[in-house]
Amino acid sequence: MNNPSSLNPLLQPWATPHGLPPFDLIRPEHFEPAFEQAMGEQRKELDDIASLKDAPTFENTVAAFDASGRLLAKLEGVFHNLCSSETSPELQAAQRRLAQPLAAHNNAVYMHAGVFARIHDLHERRQGLALDAESLRLLERLHLDFVRAGARLQGEAQKRYAQVMERLADLHTRFGQNVLADESSYMLELKAEADLAGLPGFLRDAAADAARVRGLQGHVITLSRSLIVPFLTFSERRDLREQAWRAWTSRGEHPGETDNRAIVREILALRSEQAGLHGHRCYADYALEDTMAKRQSAVMDLLSNVWQRALPALEAERAQLQSLKATMGQGGDIEAWDWRYWAEKVRQSTYAIDDAQVKPYFSLGRMVQAAFDCARRLFGVQFRHRPDLVLYHPDVKGYEVTRADGTLVGLFLHDNFARPTKRSGAWMSAYRMQSGLPDGRGLDRTLPIIVNNNNFAKAPEGQPTLLSFDDVRTLFHEFGHGLHGLLSSVRYERLSGTQVLRDFVELPSQLFEHWMSQPQVLQEHARHVQTGEPIPQALIDKLQDARNFGQGYETVRYTASALTDMAVHGLGAADLPEDPVAFEAEVLKRYGLPAGVGLNHRYTHFQHLFSGSSYAAGYYVYLWAEVLDCDAFEAFKEAGDVFDPTTARRLLECIYSAGNRVEPGQTYRDFRGRDARVEPMLRDRGLIPETA
């Protein structure tokens, strides 16, 4: 009789280039039996560690724990990435069924009394163990992982904690699937020429392709950001803009199967209980304990500082919009579905910049090469396209990443286009993390497989996809995360790549954004899609002049979302809202969110907060990291060269390759020679004068 595992490609050696998953062989039904075997293997590994007769040592306990669960990590890399990037009803069903067992397994791992006892013993004696800095960091991080996962809880408290975490895993999965269902089911069909009024050619082409993918004629606007935002920016049809805006902002708030309101309420209650079991008054206190910020007061000081500076900037922008609107003979207030439209009109009239004029210089292919070239000049790595690789979707491109001497660094997958089977947003993830562990294929180390996901609107077949300036920023942002994963150089997987404190993880990504707007980068790579001519210096100057226009609007929208996050997660159990949507509105009213602006994310589709816990009480981290990234880029300005080799080498060693082997405050000081200052960020956003 055949062994079922012999028929499951997930459980066989992957005879693929560089150990890529055999995407063409994997089916949704393969995951559950594979996970069952992998979880069993790791439980046995942990039991073996706990049952050792020898006294605990770093190697037989801490390093052994870091090396455990290799098959499980391999499977999770494939499963979670496919669920996000190329899902299906069958895969979503498997995701729902596996949410609870995987959470239960995680509880079993981090509540394993025998393993924790050995780690705790070593932690108590850590100063006398003569460990090198990275090994000591691993011991301290693993001990904290166990403690924060409930290892110190006893009896019924630990049992209840496990139940809470398993239920949260199920709710996070349901929340994300509901948002995807609302996004993928919505279509604004533009059936007549009048419906297309004001839409530039690139947007018409993208809307036509969106219709084609869905088997429709004509043009379709979906809730993909790369379609909905330009539609709100250019459409002359105010009625259709309102219709699209209301659909975009009400995701997850429709009665029926995809309603996220009750899910948000239950997640908040369970998180409050989780924090209480750890002895904290509220979830924000628990979440911030393991961050650079540490306290709500530190977060609120930053948010309040920026909020108070952004509101006047926003009102100055509103005055410009209202003035132009009146000049064009149109009265009335500017509503949320009007703001981008009139901002674009101001941009065109005041700064002589038209996105339709700019976009032909920013084709996706050239901007990818720009990002690759910046990485080469800064860090000495090169990207070689491998069209022969079998990947999970025809749109995905694979690249070998090498150093100048040909040494392989890892694999990079680029998944750039929106589709109904892919969640919204942009993100970096890993199929395999870098480490010094043997890779099981003959190498004495494990090389990373990193993926960047974007959701750009794909141009029709045979035409180049054109990006907005904001799209290019997104591309560089996610590529910065990708480099953080690819360039990692640590011994232990737990300390690898992006596994750093949450308010530090956005530093490498946001810092890399700075290079996309440098004149020498634009002059070399921003070339007209038809003529090949470089972008004119006059247009670069206009882009630089206009860069702070709209910052009041963007800053208020971002900060409003961060404030609602901190407000709801800062509540004690007795104060949690019965109606989170009403509470959100009350918070925005209390802070004085101006009319007609809106915010980046509302609770019912705020995936940062409710599709997982990584950014819960943590949406502030983008601003926190922006303080770091703007201050860090000043180091290159001070060196007189944005590609200064000495500064770039220090950046690689201290930030991009260091992972979590050094405490983040210290690793920043190692790079900069001091702590970060807030003024460069405020200047960069135009919230204080350049001379301040």
Question: Is 524 annotated in the active site?
Answer: no
Q: What is residue 613's DSSP assignment?
A: S
Same domain flag for 329 and 416:
no
Contact present, 267 and 173 (Cβ < 8 Å): no
Q: Could you tell me the pLDDT band of residue 357, with boundaries at 50, 70 and 90?
A: confident
Contact present, 656 and 507 (Cβ < 8 Å): no
Same domain flag for 9 and 147:
yes
- Of the candidates 478, 493, 506, 513, the residue annotated as catalytic is 478
- 419 burial via Cβ count (<10 Å: 0-12, 13-18, 19+): middle
Instruction: Kindly write down the DSSP assignment for every residue of 325-370, as one continuous string.
Output: HHHTT--SPPPTTTHHHHHHHHHHHHH---HHHHGGG-BHHHHHHH
Same domain flag for 569 and 637:
yes
Helix (H, G, I), strand (E, B) or coil at 585: helix
**Domain count within the chain:** 4
Rounded distance, CA 527 to CA 520, Å?
Answer: 12
Rounded distance, CA 350 to CA 331, Å?
Answer: 20
* H-run or E-run covering 480: helix 469-486
The answer to whether residue 403 sits within a structural domain is: yes
Domain boundary among 535, 559, 581: 535
- Could you tell me how many residues make up the chain? 692
Q: Which positions ≥6 away from 259 have C-beta within 8 Å?
A: 178, 252, 253
Give residue 568's domain range.
Answer: 280-351+548-692
What pLDDT digit, counting tens, does each position of 512-555 carry?
999 999 999 999 999 999 999 999 999 998 888 888 899 999 99
What pLDDT digit, counting tens, does each position of 258-296 carry?
999 999 999 999 999 999 999 999 999 999 999 999 999
CATH code for position 427: 1.10.1370.40
Q: Which positions ≥6 away from 112 have C-beta within 8 Å?
A: 46, 50, 151
Rounded distance, CA 650 to CA 667, Å?
Answer: 10
Calculate mean pLDDT across residues 595-612: 96
Calculate mean pLDDT across residues 3-14: 84
Q: Which positions ≥6 away from 413 have C-beta within 8 Å?
A: 391, 396, 397, 398, 399, 431, 449, 450, 451, 452
Q: Could you tell me the pLDDT band of residue 1, with boundaries at 50, 70 and 90?
A: very low
Contact present, 556 and 311 (Cβ < 8 Å): yes
Rounded distance, CA 444 to CA 363, Å?
Answer: 40
Packing angle of the helix pair 113-124, 133-148 (nearest 10 deg): 130
Rounded distance, CA 438 to CA 147, Å?
Answer: 28
Per the listing, tokens 């004001």 go with 198
- 523 burial via Cβ count (<10 Å: 0-12, 13-18, 19+): middle
- Rounded percentage of the chain residues whose pLDDT exceeds 90: 93
Calculate mean pLDDT across residues 314-335: 94
**What does DSSP say about strands 397-403 and 427-432: parallel, antiparallel, or unpaired?**
unpaired
The answer to whether residue 212 sits within a structural domain is: yes
Rounded distance, CA 349 to CA 624, Å?
Answer: 34
CATH code for position 610: 1.10.1370.10
What integer pLDDT is reported at residue 5 of this predicted model?
Answer: 65
The answer to whether residue 158 sits within a structural domain is: no
Q: Could you tell me the pLDDT band of residue 9, with boundaries at 50, 70 and 90?
A: very high
* H-run or E-run covering 238: helix 238-249
pTM of structure? 0.93
Domain boundary among 249, 272, 297: 249
For the chain, report the end-to-end CA distance as a whole number of angstroms.
77
Q: Which positions ≥6 away from 94 have C-beta within 8 Å?
A: 28, 29, 31, 32
Same domain flag for 405 and 373:
yes
Rounded distance, CA 304 to CA 299, Å?
Answer: 9
The answer to whether residue 179 sits within a structural domain is: no
Same domain flag for 299 and 376:
no
Same domain flag for 583 and 514:
no
Q: Taking 80 as the threshold, does the pLDDT of residue 691 lie above it?
A: no
The answer to whether residue 157 sits within a structural domain is: no
- Rounded percentage of the chain residues whose pLDDT exceeds 70: 99
Same domain flag for 82 and 45:
yes
Instruction: Kindly write down the DSSP assignment for every residue of 532-555, as one continuous string.
Output: -PBPPHHHHHHHHHHTTTTHHHHH
* H-run or E-run covering 318: helix 296-327
Amino acid at 122: L
- 218 burial via Cβ count (<10 Å: 0-12, 13-18, 19+): middle
Same domain flag for 689 and 661:
yes
Same domain flag for 106 and 39:
yes
- Residue 680, token pair as written in the block: 């460069």
Domain boundary among 152, 176, 209: 152
* H-run or E-run covering 409: strand 408-417
Q: What is residue 35's DSSP assignment?
A: H
Of 255-264, 455-464, 574-583, 648-657, which range is least confident?
455-464
Same domain flag for 390 and 473:
yes
- Residue 564, token pair as written in the block: 């609602």
Q: Taking 50 as the threshold, does the pLDDT of residue 352 lie above it?
A: yes
- 267 burial via Cβ count (<10 Å: 0-12, 13-18, 19+): buried
- Residue 286, token pair as written in the block: 């628990």
- Residue 237, token pair as written in the block: 């049809």
Rg (CA), the chain: 25
Helix (H, G, I), strand (E, B) or coil at 435: strand
Hey, how many other C-beta atoms are within 10 angstroms of the C-beta on 90?
Answer: 11
CA separation, residue 569 to residues 235, 300, 506, 640 (Å): 38, 13, 21, 44
The answer to whether residue 256 sits within a structural domain is: no
Strand order in the sheet with 381-385: 381-385, 397-403, 408-417, 449-456, 427-432
The answer to whether residue 485 sits within a structural domain is: yes
Give the phi and the psi of residue 377 in degrees, each rounded to 5: -70, -35
Contact present, 490 and 661 (Cβ < 8 Å): yes
Contact present, 381 and 486 (Cβ < 8 Å): yes
Calculate mean pLDDT across residues 46-71: 98
CA separation, residue 532 to residues 285, 355, 460, 469, 480 (Å): 54, 18, 20, 18, 27
Q: Taking 90 as the threshold, does the pLDDT of residue 634 lie above it?
A: yes
The answer to whether residue 270 sits within a structural domain is: no
Q: Give the residues across from 398 on adjacent strands.
A: 413
Same domain flag for 513 and 436:
yes
Same domain flag for 495 and 609:
no
Amino acid at 224: S
